[in-house]
Amino acid sequence: MKFHIISLGCSKNTADSEHIANHFKATGWEWSGAPEKSDLILINTCGFINDAKEESLRNIMEAISLKEKHPRLKIAVFGCLIKRYHKEIEEQIPEIDYLFDFLTPKEITQLCKLAGKNYKEPDYSNNSRFFNPKHIGILKIGEGCNNRCAYCAIPNIRGPYYSLPEDEIIKDCKNLVASGAKEISVVAQDITRYGTDKDGICRLPSLLKKISAIKGVEWIRLHYMHPRGLTPKLIDDIFSIKKVLPYFDIPFQHISAKLVKAMNRHTTPEHMISLIKHIRSKYPNAIIRTTFIVGFPGEQKRDFDKLINFIEEYPLDRVGSFMYSPEENTPAYSMTPKVRESTKQARLDQLMTLQQLIIEERNKKLIGKEIDVIIDKVSSKGVATGRTPYDAYEVDNITTINDSKGHKPGDIVKVKLTDADAYDFKAVILE
């Protein structure tokens, strides 16, 4: 029996899909890279914003079209979209064979047993990688969220925050390393909350020390540090740990005090600026990645101007920006006044045009620097693409090396940066 998983949305979903795929493999199923050649297609959906919902529905309908051509094919759909709209999808898309909110171990086993007499008890001695290069491991340390930002449906979908057990996380990390991972991306909706649901104390530094001590872990990249839980002391405790990259992924979302309060971000512009100042003064070689939302209800021109002025005064290294998406059953859904779509788009374009100029200027300052790069891919002609410590996989800049000198994906090599623009670097490997 063959299976195929379509994993949509965030890296936390990718981590879940990896676990599910390995469970299927461990029970005797065979992975198929082609959905149409599978006996079972599993779709791990995203329901965060409207674009993600549409992408999930589009993938479901494409799978149903395949099923019409290949009647043997079964479809299992689960994840955030289903948790949010289970009843509606069950009624409107009856062609789905198996519909779950989130796959529990019992439900995964139930699906695995569709193999009939070919089903065997799981053997996890040989984990595989299905969604990322094998040298990149996604390590989820928590589930859910307590922050309840006004625009966000995640707490309604995933529930309140809880930390995954430390021994389970360490076991997962060792399995990732055993299957080839050198770069570990530590993810959760807010990693600074790790441990606080137990006794109010952040246990992230302690956890990262144990991850850093695992033989084979070379780089540790941290994602989603909500400014609410960040302090200079916590920053220092985390980034003094060996192998933790100088990559500060802190979603600011806005800088207008009025908007930050309306978004229920549990922070202030002053606090966010203090974090930037601390990082810039103590970690001059670090980069700061963030996200901004434009067009949130009530955002006036003067609020947006504050955001533009902030970016000019405190240049940031990696920025993603999004137009506000109204999500039902969130406080922001009924907030007024609404910002016109054309205004949202104009503001997004202005912000990203400015940010592109800033990033290019900051990247060009790195030309001539010697730096480590992890190789992600090598072409048949020996051209390698990889990433600096400042760049996350499929999110940030790519470094191109014309002569890989025999190196392979997963190798960490010392290079000299020879050129740069807003999105990419060029480099040569140093002998």
Instruction: Clarify whether residues 383 and 301 are in a common domain.
Output: no
Both 359 and 216 in one domain: the answer is yes
Compute CA distances 35 → 41, 64, 70, 132, 237, whole Å. 7, 11, 10, 18, 45
CA distance 183 to 16: 18
Give the C-alpha separation, 32 to 16, whole Å.
18
Number of structural domains (the chain) is 3
Q: Is 273 helix (H, G, I), strand (E, B) or coil?
A: helix
| φ/ψ (deg, to 5) at 340 | -60, 145
User: CA angle at residue 286 from 415 to 365, to 5 degrees?
Assistant: 60
Q: How confident is the model at residue 122 (pLDDT cuts 50, 70, 90)?
A: confident
pLDDT above 80 (res 318): yes
Token duo for residue 54: 């549409």
Distance CA 410, CA 398 (A): 15
Dist CA 366 CA 377 (whole Å): 22
Domain boundary residue, one of 341, 364, 387: 364
Kindly report, residue by residue over 55-70, the tens digit of the pLDDT.
999 999 999 999 999 9
At residue 431, the pLDDT reads 76
Tell me the C-alpha distance between 352 and 364, whole Å: 18
pLDDT of residue 49: 85
The amino acid sitting at 4 is H
Question: 231-280, pLDDT tens digit by residue?
Answer: 999 999 999 998 999 999 999 999 999 999 999 999 999 999 999 999 99
Last residue of a domain, one of 313, 343, 364: 364
Q: Does residue 96 sit in the same domain as residue 222? A: no
Give the containing element (helix H, strand E) for 68: helix 50-69
Residue 399 to residue 401: CA distance in whole angstroms: 7
pLDDT tens for 137-165 read 999 999 999 999 999 999 999 999 999 99
For the segment 352-358, the average pLDDT, to the nearest whole number, is: 96
Domain end residue (candidates: 364, 391, 419): 364
Determine how many CB atoms are found less than 10 A away from the CB of residue 210.
Answer: 14
The string of pLDDT tens digits covering residues 5-38 is 999 999 999 999 999 999 999 999 999 999 999 9
* 410, 308: one domain: no
| CA–CA distance, 355 with 361 (Å, rounded to integer) | 10
Separation of alpha carbons 430 and 414, rounded Å = 6
Say whether pLDDT at 186 is over 80: yes
Pair (248, 345) in one structural domain = yes
Q: Tell whether 124 is covered by a domain.
A: no
Residues 337, 241 share a domain: yes
- Residue in this structure with the two tokens 């090599």, named with its chain if needed: 413
Handedness of CA 227, 229, 232, 237 (dihedral sign): negative
- Same domain? 389 vs 355: no
Could you read off the pLDDT of 337-350 as tens digits, one per residue?
A: 999 999 999 999 99
Is the domain of 237 the same as that of 264? Answer: yes
Structure confidence at residue 127 (pLDDT): 81
d(CA 198, CA 98): 35
Question: pLDDT value at position 74?
Answer: 97
Expressed in angstroms, the distance from the first to the final Cα of the chain is: 48
Strand 247-249 vs strand 219-222: parallel, antiparallel, or unpaired? unpaired
Alpha-carbon Rg of the chain, whole angstroms?
Answer: 22
CA distance 377 to 388: 14
Report the chain's mean pLDDT, rounded to a whole number.
96
**Which CATH number covers residue 279?**
3.80.30.20
The predicted pLDDT at position 125 comes to 72
DSSP 206-234: HHHHHHHTSTT--EEEE----GGG--HHH
Q: What per-residue confidence (pLDDT) applies to 126?
A: 77
Residue 154 structural domain = 136-364
Residue 165 gets which letter from DSSP?
A: P
Question: 130 in a domain, yes or no?
Answer: no
**Does residue 306 sit in the same domain as residue 180?**
yes
Do residue 334 and residue 399 come from a single domain? no
Average pLDDT, integer, range 208-215: 98
Whole-number pLDDT of residue 336: 97
